[in-house]
Amino acid sequence: MLLSALISAFNGAITKILSDDMSALEIVFFRNIIGIGLILYALKLRPPSLQGGKIHLLFMRGLFGFIAMILFFYTITVIPLGEAITLNKTSPLFVSILAFYLLGEHLNKRTILALLVGLGGIILITKPFGMSISYEYLLGILGGFFAALAYATIKKIKEIYDSRIIVLSFVGIGTLIPAILFSISPYLNAPSSLEFLFPEFILPLTPKLWLLIGFMAIISTLSQWLLTKAYSASKASIIGVISYTNIPFAIGFGFLLGDKFPDFWTFCGIGLIVLGGVLVSRAK
């Protein structure tokens, strides 16, 4: 899990480097289209054994996953890497809320405390003084929320779909929707707040960009494999705590790439979100 967290943060750093020459939507598109090839190859080696069903939930998992990814990748390009990853790590808090409303799971006192602690962390990071939150930070929080929706959907279909089919729905929809957005962008005059969803498609031409794109796709797959192995080898509560080490890794990579170092209140906010996530994992 520690190695997975390090690779995950490194993947965010590569995304930030690519953003100098590519839009966030292009990065999502190329990462996912390579992912389709990897998953199809894995399915060819060993066909899925589960029967499937509830195709609408499979589609929703892919849709929610795409929305979470594009919001996450976009926030990486506009705010410090460590803060973008921290806001994305609010997903366990949202999972608890969604599990209560959608899956009927009980919220105990520790979970409620964790949610309040995590909310305090979000407030310290986004600094909504004057009762307004920066648009970019709001998108980062929404990214965590949609990631939680994707995880909640997985909980409902993990017993009927092979994990590779679930991932395939994610990368497939994450390729199809960007292709549609690219095709209609020349005919739309999108508001400035949504321009990141309708960029002009520009095919990468330099070997450097293609090497970075390919490398990102490979290490993303490796990170997911290591994460899966970690959760199968130890208690989820322990692994969940270790997963938060990608935040200091991301802060370090971001600083090397020119991000400003987090101030005192941002560090406090990061600490509270991590504490909230730990409390949620221990409450289950």
Bigger pLDDT: 74 vs 102: 74
- Dump pLDDT digits (tens) for 111-136: 788 888 888 888 888 765 554 568 88
Across the chain, how many H-helices and E-strands are there?
A: 12, 0
Q: Are 27 and 19 in contact (CB under 8 A)?
A: yes
Specify the length of the chain in residues: 284
Cα–Cα distance between 220 and 226 in angstroms, integer?
Answer: 10
In the chain, what is the straight-line distance between the N-terminal and C-terminal CA atoms, in Å? 20
Q: What is the arithmetic mean of pLDDT over 150-172?
A: 82
Percent of the chain with pLDDT over 90: 27
Cα–Cα distance between 237 and 240 in angstroms, integer?
Answer: 5
- pLDDT for position 237: 59
Residue written as token pair 């054994």: 49
Q: Are 270 and 121 in contact (CB under 8 A)?
A: yes
Q: Are 17 and 208 in contact (CB under 8 A)?
A: no
Q: Are 223 and 4 in contact (CB under 8 A)?
A: yes
Residue 102 pLDDT class (50, 70, 90 cuts):
low
- pLDDT for position 70: 94
Q: 105 exposed, middle or buried (CB, 10 Å; 0-12, 13-18, 19+)? A: middle
- Dump pLDDT digits (tens) for 54-80: 788 889 988 998 999 999 999 999 989
Q: Are 251 and 81 in contact (CB under 8 A)?
A: yes
Q: What is the pTM of this model?
A: 0.84
Residue 232 pLDDT class (50, 70, 90 cuts):
low
Residue 105 has pLDDT above 70, yes or no: no
Bigger pLDDT: 95 vs 165: 165
Cα–Cα distance between 264 and 268 in angstroms, integer?
Answer: 6
Q: Are 168 and 39 in contact (CB under 8 A)?
A: yes
Cα–Cα distance between 275 and 284 in angstroms, integer?
Answer: 15
